[in-house]
Amino acid sequence: MKNPQNILITGASSGLGRAFAIEYSSPGVSLFLSGRNLANLEKTAHDCKINGAHVETEILDVSDLSAMTDWIDKIETGHALDLVIANAGISGGTAGSGEDDDQTRNIFATNMAGTLNTILPAIKYMKHRKAGQIAIISSLASFRGLPGAPSYSASKAAIRVYGEAIRGELSDYNIGVSVICPGYIKTPMTDVNKFPMPLLMSANKAAVLIKKRLKNNPARIAFPFLMYAIVWLMGCLPPGLTDPIFKKLPKKARE
């Protein structure tokens, strides 16, 4: 969609979600932002209002289906959502010992169920009016399971494949679906990493790039290209060949 006017963004209190909100904020645009940190979300809203946007915020957890459905129903009573960016996500991992049970369930609840809780209620309305666009934030980690972050990799793979699968069906309703697979972006999530992150990109730069590409409704937005090519190739190779390589990669520290 070239110039969306009513935009919903989850995880807007920090990182890439905040960068999206600021990048899209301008006169005539209405932003509907959610997050879990009140102070940070209010700061995002304040900065977007300075740019001339109308902003409404909601403190909620995307894993709460009832809360997400009620929020989107409330928005749709007065505004037809043009663009929904399912951005909220978490990571985890315990360096040296893997993810514990609670981390695993929380990651899937937020990254996978939370994405469905965001897009499915909105799609219902978009189908009715045969218009709209969905952007799902996945990751380059979705192309190959990483031993250091198994739940993160798997949850991002699930939403990537789901987004690519529903794209064909929803095109019949004039609804665009794009899956975004970034590499390392500087956010609070990656700030805890103690290992080198090649081609690390700022959240603002990533938001500008994604916004520009979303205008053409691509099936997939993956970057930076070099890392995309590497992980795509690794995902195509037999696990028996790549396991020894991935086992040597650093694990995420526990957040």
What is the per-residue pLDDT across 187-230, written as a single tens digit (0 to 9) for each?
A: 666 556 655 566 678 999 999 999 999 999 999 999 999 888 98
Which residues of the chain are modeled with pLDDT < 50? 94-97, 254-255
Helix (H, G, I), strand (E, B) or coil at 52: coil
Domain that holds residue 182: 6-247
Give every CB contact of residue 19 below 8 A, 6+ residues apart in sequence. 203, 204, 206, 207
The pTM of this model reads 0.89
Residue 252 located in a structural domain: no
| Residue 184 designated active-site | no
Residue 136 located in a structural domain: yes
Residue 188 located in a structural domain: yes
What is the per-residue pLDDT across 31-42, written as a single tens digit (0 to 9) for each?
A: 999 999 999 999
Residue 66 located in a structural domain: yes
**Helices 114-129 + 150-171 axis angle, to 10:** 10
Residue 169 located in a structural domain: yes
- Other CB atoms within 10 A of residue 35 CB: 29
User: Residue 22: which CATH number?
Assistant: 3.40.50.720
Q: What is the pLDDT of residue 145?
A: 82
Residue 253 located in a structural domain: no
Residue 67 located in a structural domain: yes
* pLDDT cut 70: percent of the chain above it: 87
Residue 254 located in a structural domain: no
Could you say which of 24, 152, 184, 228 is catalytic? 152
- Number of compact structural domains in the chain: 1
